[in-house]
Every structure is written in C-alpha cells, then in structure tokens.
C-alpha cells in the first residue's frame, strides 16, 4: 500500500483508528525521500532517528489507548529557516553551516505536541530571499512537474516535497509571497496567515514586520488542519495575537452563496494567457455556486513592489547584523576585528543576500531614511487603506498568485526581473492580511496555475471555505507531477 498521497487528515484519522501505524507511515516517507529526493533536491537534512522515535512514541501511546494529537503520524517537512533543537538549521546559507540550535521554534513545539512526525528540513532561498530557491547556498530544488523548471521560492523545498508526495505537509514562511508563490508553481495549497496569527519565535528573521509561518499541503482541508495546530498566542512573540483560533476546521462548508468576490483591476493587467484563462474559469466556478463578483480598484498596487523592496531589505539588513562569526556559524579569522567581520560576512552570504543588505543599509542610512524607508512605510499605509476600502465591498479578493507558471532555471536575467515574480503577492504582507494559493488548473505545457485569495485580518476561515470550493471545481484532482507522481 502506498501512503504517499494520503492527505494529512486521512493519515491522522487512520493512525488514530489503528488502520496503519505511525511507524509504517514514517518508514514509507523516509524511503520515498531516500529514493526520490535525488531527482528533486528538496531536503537539506533528514531526521531519520528523530522521526522514527517520534513515530514509535505515537504508536506506543495508541497501543496504550492514550489520546493522540490531530496530526498523529503525519510526516511533515520544515523550511530550513525554522529552528530545530539538535537538528542543523542553515536558512539556506553557508554562514550558518554547522549550527546546531539548542531550542525549537514555537511552531515546531506545536507540531510535536500535535503528534506530527518531523521528517527533515527542506531547501529554500538563502534567508528566504528569492522566488525560485536558486539562491540556496546548497543546491537547486526542481519542480516536480517539470525538472527543468524552478519550484518557486523562497519555500521551494517545502512546495516540491509536498507536491512530489515526500511528506503530507510542510511549513514555509511568507514575507512577500514565499509560501503562496512556490505553492502555485508546484500545484499545492499554500496559506499565509494574518500577521501575528502564528508565533515567529524560532523563525530565522528576514523582515520582522512581514514574516509569517504557514502550511503547504495538497488539500485545502489539510491547510486548515495544520494552521489550526500551529496558530495561537505565544508570549515569546510580542506581535503574537491573543485572538482565539476558531472556525478553521468548521470552515469547509462548500457553501459560497452570497460571498462577494472582489476582482481588483490592477491584478489583471499583465499576465500569461493560460493564467488569465484559469482565473476567469475560477471566478466563473465561484459564480456558478452562488458567489458574486465585484470589480474594484486597489489604486496603490503599483507602489507595493518598490515599498516592499525597500522595507524588506531594510529590516533584513538589521536582522542579519547578528551573523558576525562571533558566537555561532562560520567565521573567517583575521588579525583585525573589523576585517574578521567583513570577511566572515563577505564569504558567508551569497549574492542576493549581500544585495539586500546593501540595499537595506542604503535605505536606512542617515540622510536617506526619510526619502526611502519612511516613504516606503507611508506607502504601506496607503496600500493598507486600499484594502480596508475594498473589503467594504467584498469578502475576499481573487487574483492570480503569479503572472506565469513555473519558469526555467536561470530565466530571470536581472535581480529586478526576479522581484517581479512576487508582484501579486507582496501587498498582502505589507497590509498584514491572510492569503491562500489554491491550484486552479494546468497550463498548456502541463504546469500548475494557482489562484490567490486575500481576506480580511483573521478571516482565514473564509479563505479556506472559498478555497475548498475552487479546489473541488477546478483543482488538480488526481493529476500528479512527473517526479514522485507515479507512486
């Protein structure tokens, strides 16, 4: 029996019912990683011992008739920016090579408490900076639907591993689209929660005011299940919201009658024809089931990209100051302290990270602060107001997740071309809103297309409800990718 494409919900239910053991599931996942990941390149570290020990503990508790958590026996991979006790955490960077953390991220604690099985750490763009996972200092990750294409990024290992059936779910982080964009490119569901919904304790920081952790799964129901497990108040994160976690598991009613779907004109200007057709089909499917569409405008959308690429690098340049070769990670020795810092950071960081540190340092520099960083923060206010106004007329906003399906390795000629891959996903982070990407069909060349839904703060339930309807109407069904799909 192959468990490879079982949903997380099915897996947990069958483990709890005793139809299958957590050890069987975990063994199968580890074997698949061993046999398939050579072609995929998703995993940076596989925690065989830890995963088997956790599975054995679940089986022991089940045998003793003790209650099991909602993710009992579900194999889950973690983006390598999530800190794991005793398991190397690199953030995709050479500067953290060899670092063994002494603590677990909050979300990792929550997953373990829900009896999930952490199978390993997956690849990403260095410090989550990128849109293709090509910026990983370790290796490229391939798109399971077409190995000549990128899986998206920065959570490209997370999306590829789930799409190819190497785990039931994964966690990624999303600062400007890094969950939704790779989910879209790999044909899986990716959910970026409301800012503050999930604790950032133990998330290697990229841009603190934008970063959020969220699930990548093969079904919308699984996204609800995993988010339910990781969300909630954490006193160690000062920006963690105290609002109770409710309505997620009950959200999948299949009923979108009367739901008002906003279509912002600025998101439908430039995109691939197949993407345009798929989103039109998605909107039509929602209307057919009783939803209404509302044409609207988010007039400051064109400013989101410059605002984001000033704010995110500015915060990154500050957050990455701690990587100095003194207390952990890589150090390049030098006779002089300043030289030791500069050489350590010069050798430890890759080109995109250096570019963003430079851009951020430039924008924060005395005398330039008002023209760049403060200006970008003011534009952020304008973007947030656009959404506040739009949500008076609609309940969710529907857009494409990305302008094109997965692109080829090396296809983006300049850094700015790569930045444009995030053009539809950035605003959501600037405004702190929840967003989800749900597969909505394949392009003519067989690559997945994703529909993005954006919602009001803490209204993940509505995103999930509409997302599940999209999944049922125009989702990928039983279609599987080239890598891993045969199993």
Partner 1 sequence: MPELTRKEVEEIALLARLHLAPDEIERMQRELGAILEHFAAIASVDTSSVPAMTHAVPMDLRMRVDVPEPSLPAEVALANAPRRDGDLIVVPSSIAPARSGTGTEP
Partner 2 sequence: MTRPGRQTQADGLVQGTPRASSPALDAPRDAKKPLEDWEPVIGLEVHVQLATHTKIFSPSAIEFGAPPNSLTDPLVMGLPGTLPVFNHTVLQLVLRLGVATSSQIRARSRFARKHYFYPDLPKGYQISQYEEPLCESGHLDVILRGGLKRVKLQRIHIEEDAGKTTHVGARSA
Residues that bind partner 2 (CB under 8 A): 82-83, 89, 91, 96, 99, 101-103, 105, 200-205, 235-238, 318, 320-324, 326-328, 337-338, 341
Rule CB under 8 A: which of 328-347 touch partner 1? 328-331, 333-343, 345-347
| # residues contacting partner 1 (CB under 8 A) | 76
- Residue 65 binding partner 1, by CB under 8 A: no
Residues 226 and 219: their CA atoms lie apart, in Å, by 11
Minimum CB distance to partner 2 smaller for 65 or for 238: 238
The single-letter DSSP state of residue 216 is E
* Sheet-wide strand order for 212-217: 43-46, 117-122, 75-79, 169-174, 212-217, 189-192, 435-442, 448-455, 396-400, 260-264, 292-296
Task: Identify whether 132 is a catalytic site residue.
Answer: no
Other beta carbons within 10 angstroms of residue 10's beta carbon come to: 18
What is the Cα–Cα distance from 45 to 78, expressed in whole angstroms?
10
- β strands within 33-80, DSSP E: 43-46, 75-79
Nearer to partner 2, 83 or 447 (CB): 83
Catalytic residue among 131, 132, 136, 154: 154
Residue 204 interaction partner, one of partner 2, partner 1, none, beta carbon < 5-8 Å per kind: partner 2
Q: Whole-number minimum distance, CB 321 to partner 1, in Å? A: 8
Give me the 378-397 binding string for partner 1, x by CB under 8 A, dash otherwise: xxxxx-x-------------
For residue 309 the two structure tokens come to: 């690429």
State the minimum distance, in angstroms, from the CB of residue 237 to partner 2. Answer: 5
Dist. CA 478–CA 480, nearest whole Å: 6
The residue annotated as part of the active site, out of 136, 170, 178, 199, is 178
Q: Which of 119, 359, 443, 463 binds partner 1 (CB under 8 A)?
A: 359
Fill in the DSSP letter of residue 189. E
Residue 139 appears among annotated catalytic residues? no
Q: How many Å apart are CA 160 and CA 43, to the nearest integer?
A: 10
Q: Judging by beta carbons within 10 Å of its beta carbon (0-12, 13-18, 19+), is residue 342 exposed, middle or buried?
A: middle
Task: Please identify, using beta-carbon distances, which residue of 121 and 345 lies nearer to partner 1.
Answer: 345
Q: Residue 105 or 283: which CB sits closer to partner 2?
A: 105
Nearer to partner 2, 251 or 317 (CB): 317
Q: How far apart (Å, rounded) are the C-alpha atoms in residues 366 and 341?
A: 22
Residue 154 a catalytic site member: yes
| Residue 410 interacting with partner 1 (CB under 8 A) | no
The residues carrying an active-site annotation are 79, 154, 178
């Amino acid at each position: 029996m192959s468990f490879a494409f079982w949903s997380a919900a099915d897996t947990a239910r069958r483990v709890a019912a005793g139809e299958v053991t957590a050890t069987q599931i975990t063994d199968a996942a580890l074997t698949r990683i061993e046999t398939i990941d050579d072609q995929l390149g998703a995993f940076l570290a596989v925690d065989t011992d830890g995963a088997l020990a956790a599975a054995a503990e679940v089986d022991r508790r089940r045998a003793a008739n003790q209650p099991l958590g909602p993710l009992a026996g579900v194999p889950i991979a973690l983006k390598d920016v999530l800190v794991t006790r005793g398991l190397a955490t690199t953030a995709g960077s050479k500067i953290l090579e060899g670092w063994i953390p002494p603590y677990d991220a909050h979300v990792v604690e929550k997953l373990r408490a829900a009896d999930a099985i952490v199978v390993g750490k997956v690849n990403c763009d260095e410090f989550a900076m990128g849109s293709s996972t090509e910026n990983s200092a370790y290796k490229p990750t391939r798109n399971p639907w077409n190995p000549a294409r990128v899986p998206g990024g920065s959570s490209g290992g997370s999306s590829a591993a789930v799409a190819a059936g190497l785990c039931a779910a994964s966690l990624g982080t999303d600062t400007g689209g890094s969950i939704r964009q790779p989910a879209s490119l790999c044909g899986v569901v990716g959910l970026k929660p409301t800012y503050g919904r999930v604790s950032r304790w133990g998330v290697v920081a990229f841009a603190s005011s934008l970063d959020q952790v969220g699930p990548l799964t093969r079904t919308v129901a699984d996204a609800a299940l995993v988010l339910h497990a990781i969300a909630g108040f954490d006193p160690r994160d000062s920006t963690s919201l105290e609002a109770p976690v409710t309505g997620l598991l009950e959200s999948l009613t299949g009923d979108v009658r009367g739901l008002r779907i906003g279509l912002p004109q600025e998101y439908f200007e430039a995109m691939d024809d197949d993407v345009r057709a798929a989103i039109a089909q998605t909107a039509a499917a929602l209307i057919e089931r009783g939803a209404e569409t509302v044409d609207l405008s988010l007039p400051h959308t064109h400013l989101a990209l410059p605002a984001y690429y000033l704010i995110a690098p500015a915060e990154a340049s500050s957050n990455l100051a701690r990587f100095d070769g003194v207390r952990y990670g890589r150090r390049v020795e030098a006779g002089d302290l300043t030289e030791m810092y500069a050489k350590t950071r010069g050798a430890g960081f890759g080109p995109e990270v250096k570019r963003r540190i430079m851009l951020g340092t430039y924008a924060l520099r005395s005398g330039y602060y008002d023209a760049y960083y403060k200006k970008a923060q003011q534009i952020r206010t304008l973007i947030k107001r656009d959404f506040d106004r739009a949500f008076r007329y609609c309940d969710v906003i529907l857009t494409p997740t990305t302008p094109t399906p997965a692109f080829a390795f090396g296809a983006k000629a300049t850094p700015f071309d790569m930045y444009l891959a995030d053009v539809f996903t950035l605003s959501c982070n600037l405004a702190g809103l929840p967003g989800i990407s749900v597969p909505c069909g394949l392009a003519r060349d067989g690559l997945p297309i994703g529909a993005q839904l954006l919602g009001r703060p803490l209204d993940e339930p509505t995103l999930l409800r509409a997302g599940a309807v999209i999944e049922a109407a125009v989702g990928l069904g039983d279609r599987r990718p080239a890598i891993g799909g045969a199993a």
